[in-house]
Structure 1
């Protein structure tokens, strides 16, 4: 579709997909500021952290499953199913009569949201070549940045002025519109292969992912269980994970074809996603703490200030997407961004100030958004470059899966550093410096993964929508 005007059905299909993606990303952060009011009304102080954990669990497991579903079932049906599941989960979360009910519905909502994360990039692969996808992936990156900034602001507003239930119900009219766009306008696209679903592999995947993610939720300030339980869960995850790998190698049509890791571009794009995930999530989690706890901004103002990140991210994703679409080169952009981002994080680890002028603060936040933007836009597109058309769903979802798992593991690591740094002198600033040191270390690992990527151009051919 390069150089061609998009048809109305394609434009409206993309509008529906992007709307669903934005709302799924919004729900990762909107609940945080509404959660104190939820606990006040429904109780559940003991299970406070589970609201976020269960959404992450649902979204992580949904990524690889939805990626395989679009390879063996009609694509339109899978996308409608993901939007519908997210709609139902949002409605039930808002109507939850008890905290336990909210937890169950939050997991359901996470499954729908995780599927939408994966399907957004897969949808781009159906309509555009890898080179042209980079331009549209910039839109996806901008949506993630905007959702991360708006979520806490909207959650706090609903909890204070309306009801915390609107933090979930706000999704419903927009999801309804997204569903109508997809149902009415998305072109029919039959699955690229005819094969049975690997339900055994799916169940075993759940069997090791659940204890793995729960294990890393047993450390940190909001741990859900004692640390010894985390060690036990890691052992369970290792055993079931080993079993899963053996089963998948024997399957004729596995949930995820492990031979795809022989593709160098995919392998290192997934590894880069694993390390980028906690860098991004660590910033979203801890930078508001710096704004409020160290610089003294109230929650409402800190939420508005975070929009500076979005301004930088939107600008860079648009510019990077256009440049890569024109030239096809992605590695110089990613390497340059990673070097500067790691340097910025290292400086913060050493010299994070206790006071900062507003203009300088906003400038630093814009620069941070600019440096994060290219990764949001390009990693999935890069991983798809060498993938066969019949496996583009699996490749896309695997990169998203790697990022989700990396975010969980990395955030537990950063939480540990935060507690250790703060414990040295009881100062919040010391804990935050330790966190930035940890993210700088993750940045060096990100650089190593990017350095291993082949220095090639993105392909100009696209997948046929009738495959």
Structure 2
């Protein structure tokens, strides 16, 4: 497709970006709205499944479609992805119970995985890596725009419209994206001599699914299992067995779904490892920023969206700029290391936050974090694509997406355990002081019930509820309970900032691994740089 005119390429890229925006905005709009949706449908015990099933189906679909799109071309798969995502969104809006929502979210997830995998791969079909860099920055910026608009629109819709419109409002964009791809995206002939690796695909799925379930279900809290429980150990054991069988199949099959020879390429391997740790640190830490803003600082959910907006804008701007710089210079290693270092520095700064940290400092720290993420994120998809042969673009890009998804999932699970353990330890440390506050309620059941609001950190996320309970207390007890509330905030702050430190350590590991990233010139139409190692062989 690189022989197409520039005007035709730009038209196709607009179609691809429209499809990506459709998937990305529908992901970010759900986060704020989901608690309200669950309150309408019921089934709070199954809340995590609505998120987990989306993650599972998107991860599996994204990696399986990689090799298939190398064989049959990108067009049928990106159209399938848009169709599945649109159907899943439409049906999700018609859900009457939590189980229907989980099922339809699974369909949405499969569509999202296919869209994301094929979109970045299709960009690789259109442009050589050097020209691809600027488009990679623009495509990364799509996620920045979505992360700004999504939460704001999701909150507005559930506050002022029926919740169904969260799923339906962007369906016209899906229709437009489908038509643009169908009309403008060229067909390519099937690669001869290639076959589908059914058994490899099966055991790759059997490797990914139990591993993601193990990390999603492990930890403390409702619906969770201890890390050492038989359920979690059993899932990890299933993962290991399936992985061994998968490797045996891939070493013998003619057309493997994930060619193991790719990992002989140091650039491919290092880039995927960095992507894993980058996402683990980023997703594992950023997901707890709203907890700090709403729980520790007591800011409303709507205002919390505005507090997080500068970080998204910083990420959007630097991702586009980073792409332009890489296109002009043809270099990427300094960009990768610089972005990762800035990201790590931002997380270290966030570790030193406390309940008394001014909001403007929190915003500055988040902007620094966004700047680092925006610089680093576009680099590693580009380095993977630059290091492999054109006929392996699909499977290489899908593998990159797989490592990032795994990193994000594992990061969220590990950070959740760190936060819970740190908060418990801090509350135990403060238990002596809290014991003094408990005494006035000892003989008064009604007062004890109100007291329970102040002993559960989760209630800090519902500020109006806390304020109403505090106002209903006798005036002479309000100072004591306010003091107790401050201690709970301190414990939550300690737990959350400890996750930021953990995220900084994980991001620091990404920096160390990135030091081993070999820099080869970004290929362009005038350059004949061959991919490194075995991965570059046709």
Query: TM bucket by the smaller chain?
Result: over 0.9
Query: Cα deviations across residues 196-247 of structure 1 (Å, max 9, x unaligned)?
Result: 2111111111112111100011124566442321221111111111111111
CA distance in 2, matches of 1:222, 1:114: 29
CA distance in 1, matches of 2:192, 2:147: 36
By how many angstroms is 1:276 displaced? 1.1
Aligned pairs for 1:29-428 within 5 A: 29-220=28-219, 224-227=223-226, 228=229, 229-349=231-351, 351-426=352-427, 427-428=491-492
The answer as to 2:514 corresponding to 1:450 is yes
By how many angstroms is 1:190 displaced? 2.7
On the 8 A contact 2:341/2:372 being kept in 1, the answer is no
2:496 corresponds to: 432
Secondary structure at the counterpart of residue 164 of structure 1: coil
Secondary structure at the counterpart of residue 29 of structure 1: helix
CA distance in 2, matches of 1:287, 1:191: 46
Secondary structure at the counterpart of residue 6 of structure 2: coil
CA distance in 1, matches of 2:152, 2:223: 26
Secondary structure at the counterpart of residue 162 of structure 2: coil
By how many angstroms is 1:261 displaced? 0.5
CA distance in 1, matches of 2:86, 2:238: 33
On the 8 A contact 2:117/2:397 being kept in 1, the answer is yes
By how many angstroms is 1:34 displaced? 1.6
2:473 corresponds to: none
CA distance in 2, matches of 1:305, 1:13: 35
CA distance in 2, matches of 1:70, 1:38: 36
Secondary structure at the counterpart of residue 190 of structure 1: coil
Change (3 A) 1:280 1:68: same
- TM value normalised by structure 2: 0.82
CA distance in 1, matches of 2:190, 2:278: 31
CA distance in 1, matches of 2:40, 2:414: 32
Q: Give structure 1 stretches of 5+ with no counterpart.
A: none
1:6 corresponds to: 6
CA distance in 2, matches of 1:153, 1:88: 24
CA distance in 2, matches of 1:149, 1:286: 17
CA distance in 2, matches of 1:462, 1:252: 34
Query: Cα deviations across residues 291-322 of structure 1 (Å, max 9, x unaligned)?
Result: 11122221001112211112111221121111
CA distance in 2, matches of 1:377, 1:65: 22
On the 8 A contact 1:50/1:224 being kept in 2, the answer is no
On the 8 A contact 1:153/1:300 being kept in 2, the answer is yes
When the two chains are superposed, the root-mean-square deviation of aligned CA atoms in Å is 2.1
CA distance in 1, matches of 2:349, 2:288: 16
Query: Cα deviations across residues 410-430 of structure 1 (Å, max 9, x unaligned)?
Result: 111111110011112231101
Secondary structure at the counterpart of residue 194 of structure 2: coil
On the 8 A contact 2:350/2:362 being kept in 1, the answer is no
Specify the structure having the higher radius of gyration (Cα): 2
On the 8 A contact 1:201/1:248 being kept in 2, the answer is yes
CA distance in 1, matches of 2:293, 2:304: 6
By how many angstroms is 1:170 displaced? 2.1
By how many angstroms is 1:175 displaced? 0.4
CA distance in 2, matches of 1:462, 1:154: 45
- TM value normalised by structure 1: 0.94
Q: Which has the higher contact order (CA 8 A, sep 6+)?
A: 1
1:22 corresponds to: 21
2:456 corresponds to: none
By how many angstroms is 1:35 displaced? 1.8
On the 8 A contact 2:77/2:114 being kept in 1, the answer is no
On the 8 A contact 1:295/1:354 being kept in 2, the answer is yes
CA distance in 2, matches of 1:249, 1:116: 29
- Matched residues, number: 461
On the 8 A contact 2:72/2:188 being kept in 1, the answer is no
